[in-house]
Structure 1
C-alpha cells in the first residue's frame, strides 16, 4: 500500500470517528460542559463578580445573604460571594485532576505496557503488585495519607495518586497484552526492532484511545473524590475556595441557608456529569471498552 493510500485510510478513520462523536448530542453536551468548566477556571479572575472573595475576605454585613441581584448565589458564613468562590473552586478541582493524572497515567500506563509486552517475571511482578494495591480501598488509603500529612492540595494529589495509577496499569496491560500478540508486532520483532521501538511505536499508539477515554472518565471521579476529602477536612484548606469544603461549611446552616450547600453541590454535579458524558462520547467514538 502506498504512503498516500495509508494517509487516506488514516484520515478516513479519523473522519468516521469524528462523525460518530459529532452525531452524539450527549457527547457534544458533555464537551460543552467540560469546556465551560475549563474556561471558568482559566478566566476566574475576570468572570467572578468578586474575585477578591476567593481569599480571606470577611464582610459580616452580608453574612448568609440570600441570593439577590448582588450575590446571585448568596453569600457564605463570613459574607463572601458564593458564585465567585464556586468559579474559583473549579480551578482548584481541575488542578487536582491535572496533578493526579500527570502522575497516575504515565506510571500506570508505563507499567501496564511493560507487563503486557514482556512475559515471565516482569509480568508476574507488575501484575501481582498492581493486584495487591487494587485490594486497598482508595478512600481508606486517602484518609490514611491525609491523617499523616498536613491537609493541602498537594497532599490531596498524593493521597489520590497513590492508588489511582493501578486502574491505568490494569487497563493498559489488558490492551497491550492483546496488541503484543498481533502479527505486526511479531513482524517488527523479526525485523530487528528494539523493545523501545515496539513499545512506543507499535503498541502504545493502539492504547491511546482507551487511555484517553479512561482519563476523561477519571477526571469526574477525581473531582468527586477530592471534594469528599475536602468535605472531611483532609483536602484543600480555607480560605482557598474548594467545592467540598464549601459544602461542609454550608451544611451547618441547613435548611434555612440552603444556598450555602446547593450552589457548590450543583457545581460538583455539573463538572462530574460533564466529564462523564464526554468520556462516554469518546468511548463511542473510539469504539473501545474501558
Structure 2
C-alpha cells in the first residue's frame, strides 16, 4: 500500500506532469522527431550521404543538371554534384552555426540579464541601456556590415550573428530574474547570509532555466534561417562548402527549368526551422512560460 501511495505521489510531481503534457502534445512530438532526424543526418552525414565525395570541389559535367531519378534522388547542381548529399552536409553546417552562436550568445545574455535583474542602481542601468542600444540595431544590417568587412566563412558568420543575438536573452532573463529577485525565498536567502553568487546561481538561475530552454530552442530555428540568408547573399559560408542558403542562391539562376536546385535546399531550410519551432512550442506549453 505504501509503495502504491509513493508511486502515486511521484506521478503528481511537477516534472512528471510537465513531461506528461509534452508527450500528449502531437506537434511537440513531431517537432522533436524532426529535430532528431536533422541531428542524425548531420552527425552521420558521411555514412548516410550517397556521394560523400561531392561535398567539396568535385565536378561531374556529364551529370550536370540531372533531374531527380533513381541515381540522384534530388538531382544534381550546375557542376554535377549530388544535391541530396550536399543537403545532408548542409544540415551539418546549419547545426554547427546554431551551436556556435547559441553557445556564446545564451551564456552571455543570460549572465547579463541575471546581473541586471538582481542588482539595482548603476548595474541595472548600464546593462539595460547597452542592451537597448544594441537592440535598436537591425540584426541583418549588422550582419551584412560584419560580413562585408570579414572574409565569408562559418566562423565569421557566427561572429556576425552572435554580436546581436545575446541581447534577446539578456532582455528575457532580465525580465524574469527581476521578478524572481523580489520573491520571499530570495529575501530569506539574503537574510540567512547567502552570498550574491549563491543567490544568483542557486536561487534565481534555476527558476530561469525553463524560459532559457524554450527561447534557445526557438532561436535555433531563427539562427538557421539567418545563416541561410547570409549565405544566400554571399556573406556566409564560402563555396564549395555545402550550405543550404548558398545552394538556393546557386539554384535560382536556373529557374524554372532546373527547379530541383532550389526546391531541395529550400525545403531543407523549411524542415529544420519548422522542427525547432514545433519543439519550442511544445516546450513552452510543457513549462507553461511566456517567451
TM category, shorter: over 0.9
Take 1:128 and 1:259, find their aligned partners in 2: how far apart are those partners? 47
- Write out aligned runs for 1:133-282 (5 A): 133-282=134-283
Q: Classify the secondary structure of the residue corresponding to 1:269.
A: helix
* Partner residue, 1:88: 89
Deviation string for 1:179-201 (max 9, x for gaps)?
00000000000000000000000
Q: Classify the secondary structure of the residue corresponding to 2:234.
A: coil
Deviation string for 1:114-162 (max 9, x for gaps)?
0000000000000000000000000000000000100100000000000
* Partner residue, 1:56: 57
1:279 CA displacement = 0.1
1:55 CA displacement = 1.0
Asked whether the equivalents of residues 63 and 76 of structure 2 are also in contact (C-alpha less than 8 Å), the reply is yes
1:11 CA displacement = 7.4
1:225 CA displacement = 0.2
1:34 aligns with 2:32: no
Q: Detail structure 1 runs of 4+ shifted over 2 Å in the superposition.
A: 8-11
Q: Classify the secondary structure of the residue corresponding to 1:237.
A: coil
TM-score, normalised relative to structure 1? 0.97
* Partner residue, 1:72: 73
TM-score, normalised relative to structure 2? 0.96
* Partner residue, 2:3: none
Asked whether the equivalents of residues 10 and 16 of structure 2 are also in contact (C-alpha less than 8 Å), the reply is no
1:10 CA displacement = 9.9
Deviation string for 1:208-267 (max 9, x for gaps)?
000000000000000000000000000001110000000000000000000000000000
Take 2:118 and 2:240, find their aligned partners in 1: how far apart are those partners? 48
Deviation string for 1:60-98 (max 9, x for gaps)?
000000000000000000000000000000000000000
Take 1:42 and 1:148, find their aligned partners in 2: how far apart are those partners? 32
> RMSD of the TM alignment (CA)?
1.1
Q: Classify the secondary structure of the residue corresponding to 2:13.
A: helix
1:56 CA displacement = 1.1
Take 1:145 and 1:77, find their aligned partners in 2: how far apart are those partners? 29
1:12 CA displacement = 1.0
How many residue pairs match? The answer is 284
- Mind listing any 5+ residue stretches in structure 1 that lack a counterpart? none
- Mind listing any 5+ residue stretches in structure 2 that lack a counterpart? 1-5
Take 1:237 and 1:105, find their aligned partners in 2: how far apart are those partners? 26
